[in-house]
């Protein structure tokens, strides 16, 4: 099953199933939310068949416009967690650029225990075609394009989506103990566009994740990573996340970045970031500089 949440032309929040590039409204059979549909699907009790056709996924994957159906965030997550330094490139870059405690990222990459951090809850998250945040006190905020897991309280993987773990790298660099401030702020998580269940996704290691940054109509940055480059298994990450730490149905765990931008590509208000991974789709979002009182 490939599932989306969308706003209908009349402004109602709905659930859709994506079949053959088209979105069908399955709100009633899905139990009113993507999470309810995913939980029911995991128990084999929801069918993604039927439903009224709304439009193509491409038509819905556009900026919000009143009177027109458009995608919204695919899950209103009660808790989002991040895994860090799960790709060698992330460890190397972070150790090079941290003036203090040289080598700590390599210790995390190589150590038996993964780095896991709290990333926020629904209020910190935005969906497709919305704007992520740049903290008022950050001059080097970067995208971190990642594959994210949607989990049940029992730790089952209900589905896969894309996540931009937008992060204030200058604050992390200043001192690694400032990590929570570099990671948690308004619009620090972008999720979407769809959630694909494990039976439909196949082998995640066979996927490639791409990212572009566009500014003023030009492509400023372009890179991709094979998801087989990740060092940790999902089971390992989920095990440590749930160790004496009960999670709720719909918790999201984003699995780390293997794509690293340079300081010259520090995000600015008005940039457009696109993450793409088949079959999850294309997650496009803007950026806005947050005022101090936001
Ligand atoms: O240790 C800092 C965060 C690392 C991270 O978010 C990543 O590797 O994706
Ligand atoms: Mg990250």
To test ligand 1's pocket by mutation, which of 80, 81, 83 has the most ligand atoms within 8 angstroms of CB?
83
Q: Is 213 left (phi over 0), alpha (psi -120 to 50) or beta?
A: beta
Please give the C-alpha separations between residue 2 and each of 205, 236, 245, 271, in angstroms, as whole numbers: 18, 25, 29, 28
Which residues have their alpha-adjacent CB atom under 5 A from ion ligand 2? 144, 165, 257
Task: Kindly report the number of other CB atoms within 10 A of residue 53's CB atom.
Answer: 11
| Ligand 1: residue whose CA is nearest its atom 6 | 84
Q: Tell me the chain's radius of gyration from C-alpha atoms.
A: 18
Return per-residue pLDDT of the chain as tens, 294 residues.
999 999 999 999 999 999 999 999 999 999 999 999 999 999 986 667 899 999 999 999 999 999 999 999 999 999 999 999 999 999 999 988 665 555 899 999 999 999 999 999 999 999 999 999 999 999 999 999 999 999 999 999 999 999 999 999 999 999 999 999 999 999 999 999 999 999 999 999 999 999 999 999 999 999 999 999 999 999 999 999 999 999 999 999 999 999 999 999 999 999 999 999 999 999 999 999 999 999
Minimum CA distance residue for ligand 1 atom 7: 84
Q: What's the CA gap between 127 and 197, in Å, rounded?
A: 19
Q: Which CATH superfamily is domain 80-289 in?
A: Fumarylacetoacetase-like, C-terminal domain (3.90.850.10)
User: What angle is formed at CA 114 by the lines to CA 278 and CA 168, rounded to 5 degrees?
Assistant: 70
Residue 87 structure tokens = 């790709």
Domain map of the chain by residue range? 2-72, 80-289
């Amino acid at each position: 099953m490939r599932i989306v949440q969308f706003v209908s032309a009349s402004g109602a929040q709905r659930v859709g199933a994506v079949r053959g590039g088209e979105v069908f409204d399955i709100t009633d059979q899905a139990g009113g939310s993507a999470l309810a549909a995913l939980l029911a699907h995991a128990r084999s009790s929801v069918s993604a068949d039927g439903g009224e056709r709304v439009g193509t996924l491409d038509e819905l994957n556009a900026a919000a416009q009143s009177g027109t159906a458009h995608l919204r965030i695919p899950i209103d997550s009660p808790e989002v967690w991040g895994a860090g330094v799960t790709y060698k490139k992330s460890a190397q870059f972070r150790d090079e650029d941290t003036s203090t405690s040289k080598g700590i990222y390599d210790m995390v990459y190589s150590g038996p225990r993964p780095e896991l951090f709290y990333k926020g809850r629904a209020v910190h998250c935005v969906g497709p075609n919305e704007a992520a945040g740049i903290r008022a006190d950050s001059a080097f905020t970067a995208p971190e394009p990642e594959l994210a897991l949607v989990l049940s309280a029992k730790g089952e993987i209900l589905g896969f989506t894309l996540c931009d773990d937008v992060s204030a790298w200058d604050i992390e660099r200043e001192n690694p103990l400032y990590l929570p401030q570099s990671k948690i702020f308004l619009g620090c998580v972008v999720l979407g566009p769809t959630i694909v269940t494990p039976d439909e996704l196949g082998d995640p290691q066979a996927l490639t994740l791409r990212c572009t940054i566009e500014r003023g109509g030009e492509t400023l940055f372009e890179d991709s990573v094979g998801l087989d480059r990740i060092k940790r298994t999902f089971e390992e990450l989920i095990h440590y996340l749930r160790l004496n730490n009960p999670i709720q149905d719909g918790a999201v765990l984003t699995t780390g970045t293997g794509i690293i931008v340079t300081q010259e590509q520090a995000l600015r208000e008005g940039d457009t970031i696109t993450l793409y991974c088949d079959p999850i789709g294309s997650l496009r979002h803007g950026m806005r500089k947050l005022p101090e009182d936001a």
